[in-house]
Structure 1
Amino acid sequence: MAATIDDVKDKSFDYIICGGGTAGLTLGARLTEDPNTTVLVLEAGAANIGDMNILRPASYGSHFGKVEYSWNHETIKQVSTGNVTHSWQRGKGLGGSSAINFLCWIKPSAKEIDGNTIAEPLHGHILTRFIDFERLGNPGWNWNNYEKYIRRTERFTPPSEEVQRALNMNFDNWSLGTDGPLEIAYPSSIDEGELKVQQTLRNAGIPQAPRPMNGETAGTYFAPCTYDLKTHTRSYAATAFYLPNKDRPNFTVLVSAQVNRVIPSSDDDGESDFTAELVEFEYEGQVYTVHAKKEVILCAGALKTPQLLELSGIGNSTVLRKVGLPTKVDLPGVGRNVQEHVLVAVSFELKDDVKFETLDVLADPETLEKHLDLHSKGSGLFTTGIIGFSFATLSQISPKADEIIKAAEDKVMKNANNYPPGLLEQHKLLLDRLRNSAGCEFISFPGMCSRPNPPKQGKRYISFYVALNHPFTRGCIHAASKDPAVEPEMDPRYFAEEVDLLVWVEMVKFARSLRNISPLKEMTTEELNPGPGVRTDEEIAAWIKSVMTTTWHTAGSCSMLPQALGGVVDPELKVYGTDNLRVVDLSVVPLHFAAHTQSTAYAIAEQAADIIRGNFQPGEISAQL
């Protein structure tokens, strides 16, 4: 790394970015396109540049529990799941979670960004208004701008015509960016068995998605990955935004630097807005400060950004007093409105004569070595990816949809006067999504990834992740101590809203039914998990609670909402009650969407860069529209 502590301590920079993850590196690279702007990025993890444990695709979950790659966060014990904690792993090091995720490139539905679409004329264009975010008080956060900014990140390479024909792919009406720094592609090895799995889902009633990369995501499709076809390695924030720009003299990145808090200017009298002046951080056991000439920007993610705000004296005064922190900005929304995607997996055993190479074979050490060698030559299982996705409405997968929606609606209306500020508005939108949005996600995985029954030796499996994407339940994340080294208290409050479990049970029942549908029916022998002992809805619910895991998509802990509705940041991502403190990460998402979050983290950072540079207008329309 070019930066040393002597390059940073007691120095001044225009912008100090706290967190060198997906959003932080993207934002830093964009801001330093202006050679007259100086930027410092402080990242608590190591650089990990060139590490094949990160770069090698199809290494799913191998980083979890390893302190050099992952923050091993845990929730508090959840009463609803047997009084156990749940692991909330996050990327540690340059690139953050983009360095250890499962490489999926999934975008939200335009309907979930724009809600109930309303076309309005604007300067000769038709602007699709951004209802779900914009109705909640955020002008300019609309689907048109989402597409504009994500295209700046994307460098999409379509598969060869031969592969497109073999897998029935058609990109004629797709539109992705092709000039950005992040490599987006389909992995070089795609088993024909994937096509049969997708056909099964279509036969089960989930049609082909029309334009899944352009907002029309409802249906079944093959999704690309953050995959570099030239090197058969992971493309992520460090390779896309750091390495190409690391020699810029105005771009300083210091790793192993844990941010403790933001310190306001010495003349802050407690009556005027909080003016961020210094960032305090720890490096090799010593505490240092660095000066911000313009702004401090928190990019620590949905789990850590609320803690940083609270350690800086910004948050709910009751929470701050509890841990002995002075209140400098009383902002009750900090750490609230936490929303998290969750999943379970259903697995079926493949027949011995089925020609479908799955990741199960890597359990054999000799086979693993063989495929590690094949990867170096651009083939084998480490050149595969998770590409099969299906998004369905509740009514498409369950005959109980109307009953579940009616019960949820009755409860929301009954409790309307008891919700905290802003939550009733969100729940009304969620009820509409239950009726009309494709929030039930099914992800095909070539291998066994389920619990609790172990795989049989020598057998291969096909699994379906069953992912709940529209949770009604809201959790919270708060500092547990004024000591920055103490992890914040993370409480997702799983199943505080019963509708979440009811929907999930129906989704599991649908996933289990796939084994009775061709061509999967002819490929499999039996269900491994949940297994034949799990039959009734009550048994399925108990199984879900015993094996569920997060999808690592936490959002909402510093929501972009009006302050009166529990908001923490305004539409320019500036923290209420501050002059020059912003948040740029997934914590600002006010209402979660049915998609994996990687692409949205990049899009938020790209739009934030224009906002900070003064190049953004809320009504701006993409030139391609």
Structure 2
Amino acid sequence: MSHPVISEFDIIFAGGGTTACVVAGRLAAWDPSLSILILKGGQHTLNQAVHVQPYRFTSHHVPTSTTMTFNVGNPSPRLNGRAPIVSCAHCIGGGSSVNTMVYTRAPASDFDDWGADGWESKNLIPLMKKLETYEVQPDRPTHGYGGPIKVSYGGCKLRASEEFHPCWHDIRRYIDGTTGRRSDAAHHYVYNQAHNANLQIWVGKRGAVIFRDKRAVGVEFTSDPVSCPDAGQSSSIVRASKLVVVTAGAFGSPAILERSGIGAEAILKRCDIQQLVDLPGVGENYCGLRDHNIVSVPYFSADGAVTMDSLWRGKECCPGPFNRQGNIIEHLAQWKINGKSLIAQNGTDAKIKWRPDDDELKAMGSSLSTTMEGLYPASAGSIHIKWDENGQEGIDFNTGYLMIHPILYLLTLDTKRCAKFFDGMPSYRGEVPAGHPCFPEGSAAVCRETTGPVDLNAPDLIYTAEDDEAIDRYNRDCGMSHPYHYQTTWHSLGTCAMKPRADQGVVDARLNVYGVTNLKVADMSIAPKNVGTNTYSTALLIGEKAAMIIADELGIECRPYKRVSK
């Protein structure tokens, strides 16, 4: 059955996340005559308050959110039989439009360890500088001051962060220091080029690559069932005269390749998809064991302490002066005037990095050398498509979480260290029981409310073996039904790895998919190894690098970035 060809573009991006916006935006700015199409399953984010007001990021991570896809993994005995849930963005701009906006960059050695020609840190640091305007401190040689992405301290500080430690609250954010708006890829790379009719974004579309022989020539797409549930499932085709770039992220990109006949024979056969290229690395190498995980441990604070609760959880949970009926309205008014107030906050005001000492490393056991990359856990997860009982596409998702002893040991150490850090803060008033392990009766670690902080000279809390078991159970009980427990920080990567084909690689150092022509992948799925950072910075970096690669191949001059007013 043939499907209508409705249009033709020079380049089609199958996916509209962070990296897609960077690549498409750069190419459109360098050559406005280039016709470019971005196809995205999710919806637009242009000037929507839920995306541009920083404090609202929490609204994207609730089960009813339509801006996220909640990928349910297979139940795991390591998680007490629970099915872990890993979310990913489902809107234009991808993670940059919904993330927590924490600014960090990976160590240079992380990129050197990738082992990909042209991706060494010496080649990438200039691109890191190129993409940012670092509003925190002038004249830093490793930072940039003329790029599209703004980095600042945000709109205001929560005073409690200064109680944590005077040296640990230097938190930088992807927030414009002047406007107080989220600094995302969508607004700063593509939406600001609305004047260019050759750069188009079609939302609510999900597709597969089509080939002539083994050359990618376009994308066949249908309406996305989540974004457009009533649109029907008739297919259309859009042609690409120069290039197709898959940019749908660690979950979406391997799915697109497998729908297109590129992947392992067994996976495609069970889905009744004719194999075009045998590429068993597609969907493998998921960062499950090396994902950046989080265990939230909430505490009570003193009356009058300024927190985000009044904005995030409502006034009934937060007594004190920030609990007035007009609280959010007043904060919004101030934010509109000068970009300040809690509206320009992400609730992350302090941080600490620590490494296990020699005794702690020994306690992790002999598995350490074979299951860790430096101090990054090795991967064992995978993501593949499958059909459910109703004939609808789903995922066969193995996260690989908590498969090795060192990770559990580190999480136990984290839990204990957090307790020590927080109980000495002046605003500390005890633990919120729902967000802490259920310690046995009589344990010194049992949660309790207090009238003040613990004396800094008090002896350290001694945890028993039973206490450690309680912490272990707590960390294994994950899922959206209990948001405080162990879960992902949404830093998924690696499923279309930039590695040699014989080593389960999917793309080469020029981002070309093995076995076909005219097809590239550019997003976090190409990362062959983990990065010690929030992955937004790396997604931007991959976009800048991919734009240069594509421009070079098409003979386009990479001119300096010029800011374009919205």
Matches of 1:144 and 1:390, distance apart in 2: 27
Q: Is the 8 A contact 2:16 2:39 kept in 1?
A: yes
Structure 1 equivalent of residue 150 of structure 2: 183
Distance 1:487 1:222 in 2: 42
One-letter amino acid of the structure 2 residue matched with residue 24 of structure 1: A
Query: What is the aligned partner in structure 2 of residue 78 from structure 1?
Result: 76
Within a 5 Å distance, the mapping from 1:502-517 to structure 2 comes to 502-515=409-422, 517=424
Deviation at 1:9, TM superposition (A): 5.0
Conservation of the 8 A alpha-carbon contact between 2:281 and 2:496: yes
> CA distance change for structure 1 residues 310 and 367 in 2, over 3 Å: closer, same or farther?
farther
What is the aligned length?
Answer: 492
Post-superposition offset of 1:309:
0.6
Q: Which residue of 1 aligns with 2:345?
A: 384
Residue correspondence of structure 1 range 371-450 to structure 2 within 5 A: 371-378=328-335, 379-385=340-346, 386-395=348-357, 399-404=359-364, 406-409=366-369, 412=370, 427=371, 430-431=372-373, 433-434=374-375
Indicate if the aligned counterparts of 1:472 and 1:499 stay in contact, CA closer than 8 A.
no
Secondary structure, counterpart of 1:105 in structure 2: coil
Identical positions, percent: 25
Q: Summarize deviations over 1:385-444 as a string: whole Å, max 9, x none.
A: 32422222122xx842233264423xx3xxxxxxxxxxxxxx5xx35x23xxxxxxxxxx
Q: Distance in 2 between matches of 1:48 and 1:592?
A: 29
Inter-CA distance 27–400: structure 2 relative to 1 (3 Å threshold):
same
3-state SS of 2:82 partner: coil
Return the alpha-carbon distance in structure 2 between the equivalents of residues 601 and 97 of structure 1: 9
Residue 297 (structure 2) pairs with residue 336 (structure 1): no
Mapped pair 1:14 → 2:10: yes
CA RMSD of aligned residues (A): 2.5
Provide the residue aligned with 1:213 in structure 2.
Answer: none
Q: In the superposition, relative to structure 1, how do residues 405 and 173 fare at CA in structure 2: closer, same or farther (>3 Å)?
A: farther
Alpha-carbon separation, structure 2, partners of 1:31 and 1:66: 36
Distance in structure 1 (CA, Å) of the matches to 2:152 and 2:341:
17
Which residue of structure 1 aligns with residue 49 of structure 2? 52
Task: Name the CA shift for 1:290/1:157 in 2 (closer, same or farther; >3 Å).
Answer: same
Residues of 2 paired with 1:601 and 1:185: CA distance?
19
Q: Of 240, 246, 259, which residue of structure 1 is paired with 2:194?
A: 246
Code of the aligned partner of 2:353: F
Offset at residue 111 of structure 1 (A): 2.9
Cα distance in 1 for partners of 2:407, 2:34 equals 46
Match of 2:548 among 597, 606, 610: 610
Compute the displacement of 1:231 (Å). 2.5
Aligned residue number for residue 441 of structure 1: none
- Is the CA contact 2:364–2:405 (under 8 Å) kept in the aligned structure 1? no
Q: Distance in 2 between matches of 1:26 and 1:150?
A: 13
Deviation at 1:550, TM superposition (A): 0.9
Secondary structure at the counterpart of residue 377 of structure 2: coil
> Residue 337 of structure 1 contacts residue 556 of structure 1 at CA under 8 Å; is this kept in 2?
yes
Distance 2:282 2:526 in 1: 10
The CA distance in 1 between the partners of 2:548 and 2:391, in whole Å, is 31
1:193-232 aligned at under 5 Å gives the runs 193-199=160-166, 220=168, 222-232=170-180
- Which residue matches 1:370? 327
1:480 corresponds to 2:407: no
The match for 1:527 is 431
CA drift at 1:300: 0.3
Q: What is the deviation of 1:144?
A: 2.3
Cα distance between partner residues in 2 of 1:399 and 1:361: 42
Give, in whole Å, the separation in 1 of the partners of 2:5 and 2:315: 50
Corresponding residue for residue 348 of structure 1: 299
Contact 2:164-2:421 at 8 Å conserved across structures: no
Query: Per-residue deviation at 1:190?
Result: 1.1
Secondary structure at the aligned position of 1:77 is classed as coil
The answer for the alignment partner of 1:133 in structure 2 is: 114
In 2: Cα distance, 1:485 partner to 1:140 partner: 40
Change (3 A) 1:612 1:530: same
How far residue 146 of structure 1 moved from its aligned partner, in angstroms, is: 2.3
Structure 1: distance between partners of 2:469 and 2:509 = 43
Please name the residue that 2:529 is paired with. Answer: 591
User: SS in structure 2 opposite 1:494?
Assistant: coil
Which residue of structure 2 aligns with residue 23 of structure 1?
19
Is the CA contact (8 Å cut-off) linking 1:375 and 1:383 kept in structure 2? Answer: no
Deviations 1:153-180 (A, max 9, x none): 212223xxxxxxxxxxx76646422211
| CA distances 1:554-605 after superposition (whole Å, capped 9, x unpaired) | 0111111111111111111111111111110000111112210001100001
Aligned partner of residue 58 in structure 1, secondary structure: helix
Q: Displacement, 1:100?
A: 1.0
Unaligned runs of 5+ in 2: 224-230, 317-322, 438-444, 448-462, 478-484, 555-566
**Would you say the 8 A contact 2:12–2:218 is kept in 1?**
no
> For residue 382 of structure 1, what is the amino acid of its counterpart?
I
SS of equivalent residue, structure 2 residue 143: coil
Hey, what's the Cα distance between the residues in 2 that align with 1:174 and 1:405? 41
Q: Per-residue displacement from partner, 1:471-508 (whole Å, max 9, x unpaired)?
A: 33420000113999523222102222232212222222
Give 1:223-372 correspondences, 5 Å limit: 223-259=171-207, 261-265=208-212, 268=213, 274-283=214-223, 284-285=231-232, 286-339=234-287, 340-352=291-303, 356-362=305-311, 363-364=314-315, 367=324, 369-372=326-329
Aligned partners of 1:225 and 1:387 also within 8 Å: no
Distance in 1, Cα, partners of 2:16 & 2:519: 17
Contact 1:104 1:387 in 2 (8 A): no
The equivalent residue for 1:62 is 59
| 2: CA distance, partners of 1:471 / 1:537 | 21
**Cα offset, 1:236, TM superposition:** 0.9
Select 1:90's aligned residue among 76, 88, 98. 88
Structure 1 gap segments, 5+ residues each: 1-7, 114-129, 159-169, 203-219, 269-273, 413-426, 435-469, 617-625
Q: Deviations over 1:195-249 (max 9, x none)?
A: 22133xx6xxxxxxxxxxxxxxxxx562321212333221211211112112213
Distance 1:404 1:173 in 2: 38
Greater mean deviation of Cα atoms: 55-64 or 399-408: 399-408
How has the CA–CA distance of structure 1 residues 582 and 405 changed in structure 2, closer, same or farther, with 3 Å as cutoff? farther
Cα contact 1:472–1:497 (8 A) shared by 2: no
SS of the residue aligned with 1:63?
Answer: helix
Instruction: For residues 445-475 of structure 1, give each alpha carbon's deviation from its aligned partner in whole angstroms, at most 9, with x where no partner exists.
Output: xxxxxxxxxxxxxxxxxxxxxxxxx233420
Contact 1:43 1:255 in 2 (8 A): yes
Q: 1:568 aligns with which of 506, 512, 517?
A: 506
* Aligned-partner Cα distance in 1 for 2:413–2:330: 43
Whole-angstrom distance in 2 between the partners of 1:562 and 1:473: 17
In the alignment, is the contact (CA less than 8 A) between 2:217 and 2:239 conserved in 1? yes
CA contact 1:54–1:100 (8 Å) conserved in 2: yes
Partner of 1:558: 496
Q: Is the 8 A contact 1:473 1:495 kept in 2?
A: no
One-letter code aligned to 2:35: T
1:490 aligns with 2:397: yes
Q: Distance in 2 between matches of 1:196 and 1:564?
A: 52
Does residue 544 of structure 1 match 2:522? no
**Corresponding residue number in structure 2 for 1:619:** none
How far does residue 369 in structure 1 lie from its aligned partner after superposition? 4.1
